Amino acid sequence: MRTKLTTNFLLASFAGSGMISVSCATKSKPAEKPNIIFIMSDDHAYQAISAYGDRLKDVAPTPNIDRIANAGMRFDRCLVTNSISGPSRATILTGKYSHLNGFVSNERPNFNGDQQTFPKLLQQAGYQTAMIGKWHLGSNPQGFNYWDILPGQGHYYNPDFINASGKYQEQGYVTDIITEKSLAWLKDASKSGKPFMLMMHHKAPHREWEPNLKYLNRFKGVDFPLPETLFDDYSGRGTAAKTQDMTIAQTMRIEADLKMWEDTTSAPWKNTYGRMNAQQRAAWNAVYDSIKKDFIAKNPQGKDLVKWKYNRYMNDYLACIQSVDESVGRVLDFLKKNGLDKNTIVVYTADQGFYLGEHGWFDKRFMHDESYRTPLLFSWPGVTKPGSVNNDLVSNLDFAETFLDAAGVVIPADMQGASLRPVLKGETPADWRKEHYYHYYEYPGVHSVKRHYGISTSQYKLIHYYYDIDEWELYDIKADPKEMKNVYNAPEYAVIRKTLHHKLDSIRLLMKDNDEITKTFLPKPKK
């Protein structure tokens, strides 16, 4: 039994107990358990999925990923608990915040696989379970009948894999290989008569955004629409925005990120071009030699250089997604061809959002929407009305509970999210969460985004940067959707500020997070 919530605010604001879902699952007439396919890409921004209707929808459509939205529900406010890869994956597996599952940053030790996870619980309930692709949690997967994963970040070309038998290398492009492995497992799993759950995790479109060779010229000659805030000067924000290290202008490397290699001893060269065979190198050179020549001839400077870098970034990033979209189409076609589409939940998401030039940035980490908000497309035949759109505050914290509910498994009381089943049915409970809590830990670290936690509502965001600085930021995301101006000290927001502080204190208590716990995850002083 969960701890009883003691304030009206908490009762009204959070559906974290999952009790509605458990009740439905345990009292309803037993039904055939649905299969589950969970497809997750790494760093795939919602702005780069055409179903979301953002600025790139016409130049880089994703028709197969859109099929999931058309068959189910598009979530427009799916928020992550910690915008970084490993911690997001740990939250999805456990249904718990980073401070409870122990994996707060990519720089922490390996994920503790001995703890409770939803794949283990599904496995115990008779599901066949598999994990194929990018794991990025250090330790080997547990709770899976079959697993075949990329070591660490993995490679795009001729990648290494690790399974129960050890490490080996495959020839080809990583997205295609993950797809082939997944389809082979699905073919076998579907013959057994048991329900199955597959976690199919793509490496793409993670940095350094290396496309399938057949798509290197996919966007040749395209001038991608610029984000309105590409040349943001951060004058309306505080220290964190001004001291980060993730700008296209200064941080994005022309040689490594944008493939203008000169140093053939560099790690990026070795990890990409150095892994290719002669045929692959020839295909690469046929495209990139002319790009290099054109760049040298034009020699762009200042804002023209930023625009050139942005355009090259979009060329490669979106070309990677072409292969992901193709992969999704193959999986959906397999389900339909084999009569599995009527009883299979299909989910498409990313480990978090990503900046595509907004505020002049790439990468993620911040509590601002481009990184905080992740795409979520969810098809559940017989439950979700096709073509639905939802604006409730949902989270990657809810995925584990939803899959357990779908399988008729009682949701453990120590999970912190809630089943999305009623939301997917278009019947959002009156007590569904009205606030969402966020906590990012990885500083000092790559990209120098300072540690912060905060609360988001449908209209406001309150953020506290607490390590080496003590700064608060408040954004009115309805009046200022680009989050350009911190209004924390504006007199007209004094009442809102006080209310949000109270709500933040309350939600931290509910989520079992506090300053003393946070101290345990601070960097150890250097000797």
Give residue 237's identity as a one-letter amino acid code: R
Per-residue model confidence as pLDDT tens digits over 172-196: 999 999 999 999 999 999 999 999 9
Q: Are 72 and 379 in contact (CB under 8 A)?
A: yes
Could you tell me if residue 269 is inside a domain?
no
Render each residue's pLDDT in the chain as its tens digit; 527 residues: 233 233 333 333 333 333 333 333 334 444 689 999 999 999 999 999 999 999 999 999 999 999 999 999 999 999 999 999 999 999 999 999 999 999 999 987 799 999 999 999 999 999 999 999 999 999 999 999 999 999 999 999 999 999 999 999 999 999 999 999 999 999 999 999 999 999 999 999 999 999 999 999 999 999 999 999 999 999 999 999 999 999 999 999 999 999 998 888 888 888 899 999 999 999 999 999 999 999 999 999 999 999 999 999 999 999 999 999 999 999 999 999 999 999 999 999 999 999 999 999 999 999 999 999 999 999 999 999 999 999 999 999 999 999 999 999 999 999 999 999 999 999 999 999 999 999 999 999 999 999 999 999 999 999 999 999 999 999 999 999 999 999 999 999 999 999 999 999 999 999 999 999 999 999 887 66
Q: Which range of residues forms the domain containing residue 91?
A: 12-210+314-425+433-438
Could you tell me if residue 1 is inside a domain?
no
Give me 9's structure tokens. 């605010």
321: left (phi over 0), alpha (psi -120 to 50) or beta: alpha
Distance CA 266, CA 285 (A): 18
Give residue 179's identity as a one-letter amino acid code: T
Count of CA atoms in the C-beta half-sphere (13 A) of 339: 3
- What CATH number is associated with residue 358? 3.40.720.10
Could you tell me if residue 443 is inside a domain?
no
Q: Are 171 and 158 in contact (CB under 8 A)?
A: yes
Could you tell me if residue 204 is inside a domain?
yes
Q: How many domains does the structure of the chain reveal? A: 1
Closest listed residue to residue 271, CA positions, set 283, 259, 282 = 259
Strand order in the sheet with 344-350: 166-169, 160-163, 146-150, 128-134, 196-201, 35-41, 344-350, 376-379, 73-75, 388-390
Could you tell me if residue 520 is inside a domain?
no
Give me 17's structure tokens. 């107990």
Q: Are 501 and 274 in contact (CB under 8 A)?
A: no
Per-residue model confidence as pLDDT tens digits over 194-221: 999 999 999 999 999 999 999 999 999 9
Distance CA 91, CA 85 (A): 10
**Contacts of residue 206, Cβ cutoff 8 Å, sequence gap at least 6:** 42, 43, 134, 153
Distance CA 293, CA 143 (A): 51
Could you tell me if residue 241 is inside a domain?
no
Concatenating the DSSP letter of every residue in 381-395 gives TTTSPTTEEE-S-EE
Could you tell me if residue 172 is inside a domain?
yes
Give me 481's structure tokens. 């959707």
What b/e string do you get for 264-279 counting C-beta neighbours within 10 Å, with b at 16 or more? eebebbebbbebbeee
Would you state the torsion angle of the CA atoms of residues 381, 387, 391, 393, taken in this order, to the nearest 10 degrees? 20
Could you tell me if residue 191 is inside a domain?
yes
